[in-house]
Amino acid sequence: MKMSGYASAKFLSLKDVAEGPLRGVIRSIGQGDYDKPLIELSDGNKLGLNKTAVRALIDDFGDDDSDTWVGRQIEIYQGEVQVRGQPQASLLVRGLKGAAVPVTPSKPSKRNDLDDEIPFN
């Protein structure tokens, strides 16, 4: 198995936006851990979406079909959310206006690489 593809991608965190917001283009959206959507950006970075982020992207892109989000540009920034009544620093996301741009599809995740077809030789 070629390992270099795993070294370039990273999950974004608060330290990545400490100096200011990041912008990226959505390359793919799949199922992440803990039953949360996982966005992969065109630069290979990844971001798990919480409910707040999903609601924001639905509001900004006007569609809850994630297939229409591929190629759309987003901004990731630091903000606060309420967790058990207390403010907590968090990554927030907003969709940027404009047409979708063409992106190179990512390779399917091994997690979603299963299908029901049984090859017969």
What's the average model confidence in pLDDT over 10-29?
93
With 60 as the cut, is the pLDDT of residue 121 above it?
no
- Mean predicted lDDT score pLDDT of the chain: 83
What's the average model confidence in pLDDT over 5-21?
83
With 90 as the cut, is the pLDDT of residue 95 above it?
yes
Identify the pLDDT of residue 12. 92
Taking the C-alpha atoms of residue 86 and residue 71, their distance in angstroms, rounded to an integer, is 35
Q: Tell me the domains of the chain and their CATH numbers.
A: 9-96 (2.40.50)
The pTM (predicted TM-score) of the whole model is: 0.75
Q: Give the contacts of 55 (CB within 8 A, at least 6 positions apart).
A: none
With 90 as the cut, is the pLDDT of residue 1 above it?
no
Identify the pLDDT of residue 32. 87
- In this structure, are residues 29 and 57 in contact, taking their beta carbons and an 8 Å threshold? no
Higher pLDDT, 100 or 44: 44
Asked whether the CA dihedral 24, 44, 50, 87 is positive or negative, the reply is negative
